[in-house]
Structure 1
Amino acid sequence: MYRKFIATVAAASIALTILGALPAAAGDRRTVNTIAAIVGLAVVGKIIHDRNDKKKQASHHQSKPEYRAPTYDRPIRQKPTYGAPAYQPPRYGQPKPRPLPDRVSRKLLPQKCLRRVKTHRGHVRMFASRCLQRNYSYTHRLPRQCNYTFNTRRGDRRGYEARCLREHGFRLARG
């Protein structure tokens, strides 16, 4: 595309140079220069016109895919009924509705199992494994890399290191 354009401009400039080198009278030279300028402008205009036509043809044949947002069927909202209240207390003699049970998070560890043990490397905070087995239902889900055996003066103690459990997302249950 650009090669044709450059070749046409080069040919037009050579033609103008040749016309300028011809011997002519003073009045004829001015006329020749004017004609050469008009021819040069016509050539450049034709090149631009042809280029625009090619762009239009290319755009008609290769259309880009259009993005269409997905449409969803919205549920029909029912109008609220103002006659009956949302909550009706139980009548006399009927049992009260039971409150929903509080959902216990598996990541909350019981506070009473947290111990501070003196070891050879200093004081370590740990959760005693026997206490966790009695008071925590998800001991099988605790990370194994946090399970340690600590050497103390009274012997070996088994448990889970609190810092390691905290790094794995476990927290201490408050209250």
Structure 2
Amino acid sequence: MYRKFIATIAALSVAITAFGARDAAADEKEVLRTLAAIAGVAIVGKMIYDNNKERKERETVTRRRAAPVYEAPRYYPTVSERPRLRPYVDRRPQPRRTARTSPKREVRPLPERVDRKLLPQQCFRSFNGEDGKVMMFGEPCLEKNYAQVDRLPNYCAKRVKTADGARYGYDARCLRDSGYSLARR
């Protein structure tokens, strides 16, 4: 850091000693030239010293400003990733039905439970809209084939502009994230 500054001081001392070794009867012009040279060397040395000082200050400032710490994105489970509840199974033993306990009664099977979260497969459509291909469940088809249309989430409702006009329905990804799935029948 101080090498150039020390070199400048050494050059000045050599110049001064050379100046002192001259004859006393030297010209005034030569004295002025020597003093100007000494001043020039001192100015150049000072400029070099200040430049190095500024560079070191800039380096320390950039070292202090560390790169931002990378924070990994946080992923939150969607509705479909939540643990699903098992279907209810009645584990109590059924009473024995014999001719004596129920002579004229026949045992009928329970009606099949309909899952409200299963959407009809025939309503799943893809439309080419202004923003590209859109996968959705058409609203008119759902009204005909799905009894709980009024329970579908409103935030999944969508309007898509196509070449044939506007299409209304529910976004497939949004419904999937809300826990709905496609019936595989």
TM-score, length basis structure 1? 0.47
Pick 1 or 2: higher relative contact order, CA cutoff 8 A, min separation 6. Answer: 2
